[in-house]
């Protein structure tokens, strides 16, 4: 019996269910836990390695109910059924917030920043990475490279930054600072910001062609694999083709990931549109893997976008990628998927190391718990929780997927918080280093002695609903036993 499944987080999913769960005797106080357990028991990548998810864990309904009731808090329960090495599965109390976040829509003031610890104590400073166009922050006197140390008059620390910057407060005021050498000094400047609903971010922040030493170099700053902007991404590469670009710098230093299909399209824009070449291959848990044919598990390079637009490709044999510890999931997937075909020159830092993909699950047993926008009327109205569990891993054409420790750079270069530069400008240090590698010419102005570097504790992208999620959006034919 064949079922048609469209695994797409955040948009429509078609799945004919063969779920025969009988929850007639389920206590009312464990509706959320029941949904979480059943969904994880079927789909979770490490289901076979988690004793609490074992198919033979319970011999009676009462044992099952007792197990669910032992953890009244859904968050605690969800953690209790995860594999010990799982760093990325998460949940949310309202599925609409998660779904919107995965589509680049969130409540935000448009300030994208990183937080870094400084000094000998627990103090933290923030540095502005970029401002989302059209946002509240875009109308304020704040820009890339600005430094802040206080929020509403309080010094940022490891204990309070979440509440001050990522809490329920819609408004906050930043206290600004300056960097001189390796010293940070507060000043009297303040910037007040307001989080607004429905901010949509175009992930193609910068796209430009540089003509340096007789070489046409394309530079693109791509900040998220958001399916709704695939056409804009393809248009940017169309301009590169028109400009006769022969070298490409792909900047994903702040890109936390997103759509697997968008990563496939981007890889095709770089490498080529030969649909016979394997891009990646999925590996699921044994329950799901055994239901899928070899062709169903494979993603090949694309000749067109989902809208049918021909892919604009540069047909490159080498690409220069700027990536850092803030680069994750689909960003790493592009680098790994291209590696068998293209010389990927990685400039920056070791990436985060997220090599599993996920799908959004809600309390809709008739659809095997897979979120489907067209089935929102079938989701249990008493349970709006969603989970985003890791359900599989992607291998490249060489069978490689083991980068849980991240992808190490070929050229190590950290961002200098005292000299961040302008994105897309030839003097911005990481871009300048890529240009040096391409042309052999050193930009001495760009490589001043670093004033201040340090590991980012967290970036603002990690507090968005989608976080560093990598999700599937492809049709799969599933043969249920």
Residues 6+ apart with CB under 8 A from 12: 6, 372, 373, 374
| Rg, Å, the chain Cα set | 23
* Residues 318, 430 share a domain: yes
143, 175, 199 - which closes a domain = 199
* Residues 397, 340 share a domain: yes
H helical segments located in 81-137: 95-102
Query: Domain range for residue 229?
Result: 202-357+392-447
- Which tokens belong to 143? 């820009």
Q: Which of 294, 306, 469, 316 is nearest to 386 (CA)?
A: 469
User: Mean pLDDT over all residues of the chain?
Assistant: 89
**Percent of the chain surpassing pLDDT 70:** 90
139, 171, 199 - which closes a domain = 199
Residues 6+ apart with CB under 8 A from 415: 253, 324, 429, 430, 453
Find the mean pLDDT for residues 444-469.
Answer: 72
pLDDT digits (tens, 9 = 90+) for 463-472: 665 566 677 7
H-helix or E-strand containing 321? strand 318-323
* Residues 248, 282 share a domain: yes
pLDDT digits (tens, 9 = 90+) for 49-91: 999 999 999 999 999 999 999 999 999 999 999 999 898 898 9
Residue identified by tokens 């489907």 is: 372
pLDDT digits (tens, 9 = 90+) for 404-426: 999 999 999 999 999 999 999 99
Assess whether pLDDT exceeds 50 at residue 298.
yes
**Percent of the chain surpassing pLDDT 90:** 72
* Residues 260, 377 share a domain: no
pTM for the full predicted model: 0.86
CATH number of the domain that 212 lies in? Answer: 3.90.226.10
* Residues 68, 49 share a domain: yes
pLDDT digits (tens, 9 = 90+) for 122-144: 999 999 999 999 999 999 999 99
Q: How many domains does the chain have?
A: 3
SS3 per-residue string spanning 361-427: EECCHHHCCECCHHHHHHCCCCCCCEEECEEEEEEECCCCCCCCCCCCCCEECCCCCCCCCCCCCCC
């Amino acid at each position: 019996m064949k079922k048609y499944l469209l695994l797409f987080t955040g948009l429509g999913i078609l799945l004919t269910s063969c779920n025969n769960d009988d929850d007639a005797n389920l206590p009312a106080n464990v509706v959320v836990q029941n949904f979480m357990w059943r969904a994880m028991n079927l789909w979770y990548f490490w289901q076979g390695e988690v004793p609490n998810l074992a198919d033979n864990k319970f011999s009676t309904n009462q044992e099952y109910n007792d197990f669910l009731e032992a953890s009244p808090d859904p968050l605690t329960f969800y953690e209790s059924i995860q594999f010990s090495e799982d760093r990325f599965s998460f949940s949310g109390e309202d599925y609409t917030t998660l779904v919107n976040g995965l589509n680049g829509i969130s409540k935000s003031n448009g300030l994208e920043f990183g937080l870094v610890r400084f000094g000998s104590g627990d103090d933290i400073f923030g540095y502005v990475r970029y401002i989302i166009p059209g946002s509240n922050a875009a109308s304020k006197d704040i820009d890339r490279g600005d430094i802040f140390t206080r929020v509403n008059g309080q010094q940022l620390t490891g204990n309070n930054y979440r509440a001050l910057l990522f809490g329920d407060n819609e408004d906050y005021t930043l206290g600004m600072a300056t960097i001189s050498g390796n010293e940070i000094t507060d000043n009297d400047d303040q910037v007040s910001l307001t989080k607004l609903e429905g901010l949509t971010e175009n992930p193609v922040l910068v796209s430009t062609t540089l003509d340096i030493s007789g070489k046409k170099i394309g530079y693109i700053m791509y900040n998220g694999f958001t399916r709704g902007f695939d056409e804009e991404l393809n248009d940017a590469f169309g301009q590169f083709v028109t400009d006769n670009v022969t070298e490409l710098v792909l900047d994903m230093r702040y890109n936390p990931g997103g759509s697997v299909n968008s990563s496939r399209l981007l890889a095709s824009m770089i490498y080529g549109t030969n649909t016979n070449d394997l891009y990646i291959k999925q590996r699921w848990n044994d329950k799901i893997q055994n239901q899928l044919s070899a062709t169903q598990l494979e993603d090949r390079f694309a000749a067109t976008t989902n809208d049918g637009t021909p892919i604009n490709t540069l047909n490159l044999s080498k690409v220069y990628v700027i990536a850092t510890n803030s680069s994750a999931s689909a960003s790493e997937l592009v680098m790994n998927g291209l590696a068998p075909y293209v010389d990927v020159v990685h400039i920056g830092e070791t990436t985060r190391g997220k090599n599993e993909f996920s799908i959004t699950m809600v309390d809709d047993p008739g659809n095997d718990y897979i979120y489907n926008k067209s089935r929102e009327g079938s989701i249990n109205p008493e349970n709006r929780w969603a989970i985003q569990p890791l359900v599989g891993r992607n291998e490249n054409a060489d069978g490689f997927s083991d980068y849980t420790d991240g992808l190490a750079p070929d050229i190590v270069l950290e961002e200098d918080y005292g000299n961040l530069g302008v994105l897309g400008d030839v003097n911005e240090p990481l871009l300048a280093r890529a240009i040096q590698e391409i042309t052999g010419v050193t930009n001495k102005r760009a490589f001043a002695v670093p004033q201040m570097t340090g590991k980012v504790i967290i970036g603002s992208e990690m507090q968005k609903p989608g976080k560093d999620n990598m999700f599937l959006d492809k049709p799969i034919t599933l043969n249920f036993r």
